[in-house]
Amino acid sequence: MAFFADPTVSLSNKLLEIVYIIIGLITIYAGVKNLLDKKNPARFGTFVFWTSFGIVCSLGRWLPSRVSGALIIIMVIPAIFKRVQKGESNAPTKEYTQKQFARIGMKIFLPALTMGILALTFALFTQISALVGVALGVLISMIVLMCYSRDNKPVTFLKDSERLLSTMGPLCMLPQLLGALGGIFTAAGVGDIIGAIVSGIVPEGNVIAGIIVFAIGMALFTAIMGNAFGAITVMTIGVGAPCVLAYGADPVIIGMVALTCGFCGTLLTPMAANFNIVPVALLNMKERFGVIRNQAPVALIMLAVQIVYMIIFS
């Protein structure tokens, strides 16, 4: 409580902390719901996963770092052993969604766009974090949905979020885990070592060469790994920071556009099976690389465009 009363902590940070507490409660609900769900084949593992995350998320500010670290280790163990599963689903039937559409119609786009609009409003016009804007948008969206239909009770939202969370499974924690891994790399001095190696290859002080290596490296690493999120952490620490940012290039443009250079790699690789191979099966296509072949020209042009953009504007 002292935290929320402390006048030196900004309103934005206080509100953000409340948002994290709510997120933690949502996942703890998911954990408890699955523990009690007899249809879940791995009730205990699922419970451990979502509940440990919920505790770290809601209490992270107050827990000693070592305790949070230990809870994360406890969290990933059931995930590694595939003991995080989904239980009974409350997915709506096609008849139901069609009935709701007949009643609500195009008005449904309003609550769908609320979160993005609020995030922008907060980012542009207030000193408060855009994420608090997203949270307020979620709240407004929920109220609008409750006004649209009496079927939408508070518990409906909670159950629907649990269904989606369980469908996504532990992989939805990937960005946050990769972010933490990046922190460990930095703490262990990995960036400095790669920087030393790469500076032997890229001529020192040549930002243009650095940008080209960074952009193509992102696309290549992503293509090999099948995941741009994994590549961005490693490549930014290893190449982006020592070869480009160290010479004063704009971190906003370099950091962000490097991610979409990585996406060009995603568009080119069968490793990103979810996007490039699964659709081939879903659409009954004959050619295994039919989707990639259609993406390749656009991906290659965009990679070149982005390199030029980074060179000119950073």
Q: Which is nearer to another protein, 9 or 181 (CB)?
A: 181
Q: Which is nearer to another protein, 48 or 241 (CB)?
A: 241
Q: Shortest approach of another protein to residue 277 CB, angstroms?
A: 10
Q: Which is nearer to another protein, 202 or 272 (CB)?
A: 272
Q: Which is nearer to another protein, 11 or 164 (CB)?
A: 164
Q: Shortest approach of another protein to residue 33 CB, angstroms?
A: 14
Q: Which is nearer to another protein, 39 or 293 (CB)?
A: 293
Q: Shortest approach of another protein to residue 88 CB, angstroms?
A: 14
Q: What is the DSSP string of the chain?
A: -HHHH-TTS-HHHHHHHHHHHHHHHHHHHHHHHHHS-TT-TTHHHHHHHHHHHHHHHHHTTTS-HHHHHHHHHHHHHHHHTT--------PPPHHHHHHHHHHHGGGGHHHHHHHHHHHHHHHHH-SS-HHHHHHHHHHHHHHHHHHH-TT--HHHHHHHHHHHHHHHGGGGGHHHHHHHHHHHHHHTTHHHHHHHHHHHHSPTT-HHHHHHHHHHHHHHHHHHHS-HHHHHHHHIIIIIIIIIGGGT--HHHHHHHHHHHHHHHHHH-TTSHHHHTHHHHHTT-S-TTHHHHHHHHHHHHHHHHHHHHHHHH-
Q: Shortest approach of another protein to residue 136 CB, angstroms?
A: 10
Q: Which is nearer to another protein, 7 or 297 (CB)?
A: 297
Q: Shortest approach of another protein to residue 192 CB, angstroms?
A: 9
Q: Shortest approach of another protein to residue 37 CB, angstroms?
A: 17
